[in-house]
Amino acid sequence: MSKRKNNGFKKRPNKQFKNQNRQAGTGKQSQGKKIATTEVTCQGLTSEGKGIVQWDGKQLEVEQLLPGEKAEVTIYKKGRFFNAEIKRLINFSDDRARQPKKYDDECGGCQIQHMTYEAQTRFKQKVVDDLMKPFGKPEPIITMDHPYDYRNKNVMTFGLNKKRQIISGLYAPNSHRIIPMMGSIIHDPKADEIIQTVTDLAKSFKLQPYNEDTGQGFLRHVMVKVGKKSGEIMVVIVAASPMFKGKKNFVKALRKDHPEISTILLNINQRNDSMVLGDQEKVLFGKGTIIDTLCGLEFEISAKSFYQINPVQTEKLYNEAIEMAGLIGKEKVVDAYCGIGTIGLVASKKAGKVIGVELNNDAVRDAIRNSKRNGIQNARFYQADAGEYMTQLAAQGENIDVVFLDPPRSGSDEAFLSSLVKLKPSRVVYISCNPETQARDLKYLTKKGYEVKRMQPVDMFPQTSHIESIALLTKQS
């Protein structure tokens, strides 16, 4: 670990940026015509962590530039839009991190890894503070002690390199070029190792990557899920057809190299959208699911259901959210957008009754299994659109005391929020992975008789610009 934090950078800044430019340049051929090279000073950050500069009376965004830093930038024009890219950094902010591992810049997933962790948390705090200003002042963000290696799920796509050999990696931003991704600072290192073995085996078994344009080929993706506490590991091979030639030997060879693998699945994906997994799956080895422990409960996780990707921070998130709900053991609680039932099941120990609602069938099945596995008898789970389900509860005149909601990035919807208002729970705990849509929904609820009592950001996604945020609302009397 120490090697990771201290490597590179030092007094060779421009070499670092030369590299970065080359990488960024290859990934973004679509960025337009080069029109100028100029010196700029960064004046602030966008909510995505990009540097803000002024040029020719315009405000431009520059990736990886920090406030106070001066840089020579290249300006590009595409249609009516201007882009700027660092050519050479002239001075360095104290907030700049030592250069991390080499591939991350390219995939674009770790948007703010060029900042020290302290600067990252300051940046996230400011984004949340600004967005939530109308509702009060959020608490200091809950940080992660070791903000690396945290992801419990790695997914890579197969493709061909220039020598037409099969490789796996992530797509470069705005492109169909695959970048090999071994050594990301946020991936689980064991998962990356297994993905490398799967790729090597694919080569020796002469398996062809699937080509989205021609529809030819077989292997599409490989996904590895790791139970960070249990140590159980799931490998999902995603292919375009169920005809996996040599699958028995493939599985045997993979298990020989990695006896730590608990289960291997084949997922068939014949879709032509950006979804990684198809509906059909076949267990090739083991029981098809893995177990992990969160907040003292065991959860069974299947290939297709959602499970928080940073379990260390998830425990802090759930503990905080459940504490905010102030449960005393009698309440009727709704856990909306419940996934595999994690929040509701952890809360069930302190509640009278829990009703979980979730759209994804596999997740609901996991939630029901999980309540049985943990001997929980006061929780029920339903497969439905959360908005429709709440509308139904409101129409039935149900008595609900507390609502947890944890919607996807797009936030909740009018059907859900208006029914929530009709149900009149005394407390609402809104967990969100997108504070912008959360602020929009809080605005709605505060106009309809709710008051924001507390806001708690949590850093669930270190090195990236994503922010998780909890808000507690109470019904005004």
Q: Residues in the chain, how many? A: 477
Q: Containing H/E element for 194?
A: helix 189-204
What is d(CA 462, CA 354) in angstroms, rounded to the nearest whole number?
A: 32
Nearer to ligand SAH, 148 or 337 (CB): 337
Q: Is 411 a binder of ligand SAH (CB under 6 A)?
A: no
Q: Is 360 a binder of ligand SAH (CB under 6 A)?
A: yes
Phi-psi region of 265 (alpha: psi -120 to 50; beta: other; left: phi over 0): beta
Query: Does the annotation mark 338 as catalytic?
Result: no
Judged on CB neighbours under 10 Å (0-12, 13-18, 19+), 280 is exposed
Nearer to ligand SAH, 111 or 432 (CB): 432
Which listed residue (42, 110, 295, 433) is catalytic?
A: 433
| 397 touches 373 (CB < 8 A) | no
Nearer to ligand SAH, 90 or 275 (CB): 275
The region of 179-187, 229-237, 405-413, 464-472 touching ligand SAH under the rule CB under 6 A is 405-413
What is d(CA 288, CA 124) in angstroms, rounded to the nearest whole number?
A: 38
Question: Hey, what are 184's tokens?
Answer: 């990301």
Cα 401 to the chain's mean position, in Å? 30
Q: How many residues bind ligand SAH (CB under 6 A)?
A: 17
Determine the residue type at 474.
Answer: T
- Give the list of residues 6+ apart from residue 435 with CB closer than 8 angstroms, or none: 127, 128, 131, 132, 457, 467, 469
Binding mask 438-467 for ligand SAH (x = CB under 6 A): ------------------------------
| Residue ranges at the known binding site for S-adenosyl-L-methionine | 308, 337, 358, 406
Give the pairing type, strands 297-301 and 233-239: unpaired
What is d(CA 297, CA 244) in angstroms, rounded to the nearest whole number?
A: 37
| Residue ranges at the known binding site | 308, 337, 358, 406
Minimal CB distance to ligand SAH: which residue? Answer: 339
Q: Is 86 a binder of ligand SAH (CB under 6 A)?
A: no
Q: Is 406 a binder of ligand SAH (CB under 6 A)?
A: yes
Q: Is 76 a binder of ligand SAH (CB under 6 A)?
A: no
Dihedral angle over CA of 312, 315, 318, 319, nearest 10: -130
Q: Is 306 a binder of ligand SAH (CB under 6 A)?
A: yes
Binding mask 329-358 for ligand SAH (x = CB under 6 A): --------xxx--xx-------------xx
Smallest separation (angstroms) from ligand SAH to the CB of 297: 13
| 473 touches 453 (CB < 8 A) | yes
What is d(CA 400, CA 417) in angstroms, rounded to the nearest whole number?
A: 14
Smallest separation (angstroms) from ligand SAH to the CB of 197: 29
Using the rule CB under 6 A, which residue among 363, 393, 402, 420 binds ligand SAH?
A: 363
The region of 148-156, 263-271, 402-410, 454-462 touching ligand SAH under the rule CB under 6 A is 402-410
Active site residues: 433
Interface residues with ligand SAH (CB under 6 A)? Answer: 306, 308, 337-339, 342-343, 357-360, 363, 385-386, 406-408
